Amino acid sequence: MSDVVLETRDLVKHFPLTQGIVFKKQIGAVRAVDGVNLELRRGETLGIVGESGCGKSTLARMLVGLETPTSGDLFVQGKNMSKVGAEERRRGRRNIQLVMQDPYTSLNPRMTVGDIIGEPFEVHPDVVPKGSRRRKVQELLELVGLNPDHINRYPHQFSGGQRQRIGIARALALNPEIILCDEPVSALDVSIQAQVINLLEKLQNELGLSYVFIAHDLSVVRHIADRVAVMYLGKIVEIGTEDEIYESPTHPYTQALLSAVPVPDPKLRGQRDQIVLVGDVPSPANPPSGCRFRTRCWKAQDICAEQEPLLQIRDKSGHPSACHFAEVRDVVHATE
């Protein structure tokens, strides 16, 4: 069996922009994800970082089958999800589960924790026989560090960190091999965040899970990820090992992102080579020509407006970067 558990080829999601109410006319498209190639290997954690609006959640929703790609292919365990039959697709989907950011809104307030965690068994009744479901749910509660006796409580009776544990237990119900975490700790306080990160790492070791871990906190991603992909306006602009991305970033966007993270050490104040980017991310409905980062890039040349830089290895650092002028630059950053 191949070591790649999840792969995308030129994955695209365009949301149509329409005008008119009765006779909808398409006047354009939000190019949320615009040609993404990724591989997730067995047992690894792939981090995805980028500013909000870059398409991270849309990508995640396509990977778990909540969103249909406009074009491109998604392979789960080597099987092309758009080519296989319904039963095979269902099994593929079962293997990938999503953990979302907001433990406050992603849980139905009127369902007990037991029903929430056990709900996936209704859709996939073959996973656990009916008689032993309650036991299974209690095992899951225990696995994520919650009291199994609290199976009949409601979400509001739990704290934010505990609710995130409920979300994780639910994602684990169908014994998936791949978990997609979309900002799983962003809404949590730092001390609670550490508890949840520790739990995710423990589960990965014990169950051999593979993670796609999306977060805007770059130091959290560095802690948990083996490899990191940097997204900008629907495209991956740089990808490499955690060390390559954090120690020798070559794309100006990655460099700017890393340099913007405040370092939790006052001794380093003023010593950072901080790149303050001007302006915001442009609209994905109308991305700049050529290199999408050029409107904010301090290195932009004429060629950047004319020719789109491909994601490829182009300098000594040995990892792919989508910049015509990719080169290593030292940035002192958060986890130094």
Ligand X SMILES: Nc1ncnc2c1ncn2[C@@H]1O[C@H](COP(=O)(O)OP(=O)(O)O)[C@@H](O)[C@H]1O
The residue ranges that bind ligand X (CB under 6 A) are: 15, 30, 32, 50, 52-58, 284
Of 170, 227, 235, 324, the one binding ligand SF4 by CB under 6 A: 324
136 binds other proteins (CB under 8 A): no
Binding region for Mg ion (CB under 5 A):
56-57
* CA-closest candidate to residue 284, choices 17, 92, 85: 17
- Compute the distance between CA of residue 62 and CA of residue 140 in angstroms, rounded to an integer: 26
265 binds other proteins (CB under 8 A): yes
- Residue 291, contacted partner among other proteins, Mg ion, ligand SF4, none, CB below 5-8 A by kind: ligand SF4
**Site track for other proteins across 148-167, x = CB under 8 A:** -----------x-x------
- Compute the distance between CA of residue 18 and CA of residue 108 in angstroms, rounded to an integer: 32
Strand 71-76 with 4-19, pairing: antiparallel
- Compute the distance between CA of residue 294 and CA of residue 275 in angstroms, rounded to an integer: 15
Query: Alpha helix locations (H) across the chain?
Result: 56-63, 86-94, 113-123, 133-143, 160-172, 190-207, 218-224, 242-247, 252-260, 302-306
Scanning the structure block, which residue is given the tokens 């900002």?
A: 183
What's the angle, vertex CA 118, arms to CA 115 and CA 124, rounded to 5? 135
222 binds other proteins (CB under 8 A): yes
CB of 280 or CB of 306, closer to other proteins: 280
Q: How far is the CB of 302 from ligand X (least distance, A)?
A: 28
190 binds other proteins (CB under 8 A): yes
CB of 114 or CB of 284, closer to ligand X: 284
Query: Can you tell me whether residue 251 is helix, strand or coil?
Result: coil
CB of 224 or CB of 322, closer to ligand SF4: 322
330 binds other proteins (CB under 8 A): no
Of 235, 294, 319, 333, the one binding ligand SF4 by CB under 6 A: 294
Residues 233-272 that bind ligand SF4 (CB under 6 A): 252
Q: How far is the CB of 317 from ligand SF4 (least distance, A)?
A: 14
- Compute the distance between CA of residue 163 and CA of residue 141 in angstroms, rounded to an integer: 11
- Residue 335, contacted partner among Mg ion, other proteins, ligand SF4, none, CB below 5-8 A by kind: other proteins
| DSSP for 6-52, written as a single string | EEEEEEEEEEEEEE-SSS-EEEEEEEEEEEEEEEEETT-EEEEE--T
- Residue 264, contacted partner among ligand X, Mg ion, other proteins, none, CB below 5-8 A by kind: other proteins
CB of 224 or CB of 297, closer to ligand SF4: 297
Q: Residue 202: CB partners within 8 Å, gap ≥ 6?
A: none
Task: Give residue 39's identity as a one-letter amino acid code.
Answer: E
Residues 37-96 that bind other proteins (CB under 8 A): 51-52
**In 3-state terms, the chain is what percent helix, strand and coil (to 5)?**
35, 20, 45
- Residue 154, contacted partner among ligand SF4, ligand X, other proteins, none, CB below 5-8 A by kind: none
For the four alpha carbons of 184, 158, 129 and 139, in that order, the dihedral sign comes to positive
CB of 56 or CB of 93, closer to other proteins: 56
Of 221, 263, 297, 311, the one binding ligand SF4 by CB under 6 A: 297
User: 194: exposed, middle or buried (C-beta count within 10 Å: 0-12, 13-18, 19+)?
Assistant: middle
Q: How far is the CB of 12 from ligand SF4 (least distance, A)?
A: 21
Interaction site with other proteins (CB under 8 A): 51-52, 159, 161, 189-195, 197-198, 201, 216, 218-220, 222-223, 242, 256-257, 260-269, 274, 276-278, 280, 334-336
Interaction site with ligand SF4 (CB under 6 A): 252, 291, 293-294, 297, 299-300, 304, 309, 323-325
